Amino acid sequence: MSARTIAEPARQIPLYGEYEVAVLGGGPAGIAAAVASARAGRRTLLIERYGFLGGMGTAAGVTNFCGLHANVFGEMHRVVQGVASDLLARIDRLNGLNAPHLVLGKIMAQAYDTAAYKIAADDLLTSHNVDILFHALGAGAVMRDNGRIDALMVETKAGRRAIVASIFIDCSGDGDLAAWAGAPYEVGDNAGSMLYPSMMFRLNGIDPEKAGDAWRTIPALMEQAEAAGTHHFPRKAAIVRPQRSQVEWRVNFTQLSRDDGRAINGIEPDDLTTGEIEGRRQAIKAFEFLRTVPGFENSYIVDIPPQLGIRETRRVVGDYMVSGEDVLECASFDDSIGVNGWPIEAHVAGDVVFKFPPIPESRGFNELPYRMLTPQGIDNLLVAGRCASMTHEGQSAARVSGACFVMGEAAGTAAALALSGNTPPRDIDVATLQTQLKRQGAFVGRDQTVPAGL
């Protein structure tokens, strides 16, 4: 981008509305935050740049929940409940939810259909009287002198609008609002790269009988094709798995890097543009290979999602940063708001590297501290989801949907408590937050019994 600048004349911006809580971003974190805040009786607005909810889960075609389960001393448990359970039940009623499946024989994930997710999330939010503003791109913050956000500025088809709220929750995935407000943040590995993005896509027209458990055989077929020189793959460890309808499979196969080998940067518009085009090119190449797999001969690409899948950009620095050691050592925190059972899943150049806590010796999950939601320096802001306060390694685990639901539900509930007590979110009584979360059906760890079942 050019370094030249243009002066923009100051102007009066119409007020869109005044809210008690405004949530930026409608991914797993934003969905849970908005529902929790509205459930607590707070006038809540969720702002989303697309015309649907789900975040990367729908907009980037992820179609699979990770982090809902933990491998607890060798046994699987659904450790993320609360708002996530309400959403899953709605997706299931729409016939859009698979049974949980084993990943690497060590942990569980659960696939879903994007259409069902979008409809279920609409229903969940509207039934809790969350106001939704779709097709509104958050574009800046107006601050008061004392480190408080006065208004979030959004760009809409009707022009620029201002949204005033007592408390804001940044669930943008990229920490956009926190960055505009001046909160400190880190980007990726702090050395110019970050977890590599992927362009997801889905195939239809697969013969399920013939394809069988093809996800087990595809990695070996890839190695053979690479050795024979017929195909080249930008990354190992491809994931190709069936959706609810067994004729449709999701493909998590691609990896997007810049010319210098570093990851495409999800907060750089030129990088994003290159990544989208190259991502679709890689998708076609992957499809050419997959058509050689038995059962895939007559398949076709039924969907390339609206955007490139971004795993990591800004990580906002809060009062505690969850680290890789916390994940691998199954850390406990007095101010736990819930748990993460997903291992470290590092998308490095050319590969995906998993690191698990010891199985079956460990309880398989770390607690997530409330302090990871409270950014330094800004009083009326909470940050939840993949841009919350975590180190690069910690985020490689707790960025997945399960932990994002946990953080979102805690942030929405905490915002309501802060308003009741007329205190900044940072100063709420965390024991009251934990009691409230448990009352809502959440599992916060601590002395609670691990929920039974899947």
Ligand X SMILES: Cc1cc2nc3c(=O)[nH]c(=O)nc-3n(C[C@H](O)[C@H](O)[C@H](O)COP(=O)(O)OP(=O)(O)OC[C@H]3O[C@@H](n4cnc5c(N)ncnc54)[C@H](O)[C@@H]3O)c2cc1C
Binding residues vs ligand X (CB under 6 A):
24-30, 47-50, 55-57, 59-60, 62, 64-67, 109, 137-138, 171-174, 176, 197-198, 200, 252, 309-311, 385-386, 399-401, 404
The distance of closest approach from Cβ of residue 184 to ligand X in the complex, given in angstroms and rounded to an integer, is: 19
Output 24 or 316, the one with its CB closest to ligand X: 24
Output 295 or 305, the one with its CB closest to ligand X: 305
Output 25 or 360, the one with its CB closest to ligand X: 25
The distance of closest approach from Cβ of residue 52 to ligand X in the complex, given in angstroms and rounded to an integer, is: 8
The distance of closest approach from Cβ of residue 195 to ligand X in the complex, given in angstroms and rounded to an integer, is: 8
The distance of closest approach from Cβ of residue 325 to ligand X in the complex, given in angstroms and rounded to an integer, is: 21
Residue 280 in tokens: 């679709």
Output 59 or 381, the one with its CB closest to ligand X: 59
The distance of closest approach from Cβ of residue 330 to ligand X in the complex, given in angstroms and rounded to an integer, is: 19
DSSP at 366: E
Report which secondary-structure segment, H or E, holds 277: helix 269-290
Residue 2 in tokens: 């050019």
User: Residue 109, SS3?
Assistant: strand
Output 253 or 296, the one with its CB closest to ligand X: 253
Contact 252, 198 (CB under 8 A): yes
Gap between the Cα atoms of 328 and 339, Å rounded: 13
Output 355 or 446, the one with its CB closest to ligand X: 355
Gap between the Cα atoms of 231 and 361, Å rounded: 41
The distance of closest approach from Cβ of residue 33 to ligand X in the complex, given in angstroms and rounded to an integer, is: 9
User: Residue 226, SS3?
Assistant: helix
Residue in this structure with the two tokens 């981008």, named with its chain if needed: 1
The distance of closest approach from Cβ of residue 448 to ligand X in the complex, given in angstroms and rounded to an integer, is: 23
Output 163 or 171, the one with its CB closest to ligand X: 171
Output 149 or 400, the one with its CB closest to ligand X: 400
HSE toward the beta carbon, residue 315, CA cutoff 13 A: 26
Residue in this structure with the two tokens 């999602």, named with its chain if needed: 305
DSSP secondary structure of 136-169? -EEEEEEEETTTEEEEEEEEETTEEEEEEEEEEE
**Closest residue by Cα to residue 403 from 84, 155, 12:** 84
Residue 231 in tokens: 């195909």
DSSP at 98: P
The distance of closest approach from Cβ of residue 177 to ligand X in the complex, given in angstroms and rounded to an integer, is: 8
Gap between the Cα atoms of 378 and 174, Å rounded: 17
Output 362 or 401, the one with its CB closest to ligand X: 401
The distance of closest approach from Cβ of residue 441 to ligand X in the complex, given in angstroms and rounded to an integer, is: 20
Gap between the Cα atoms of 151 and 161, Å rounded: 10
Gap between the Cα atoms of 196 and 186, Å rounded: 16
Gap between the Cα atoms of 454 and 451, Å rounded: 9
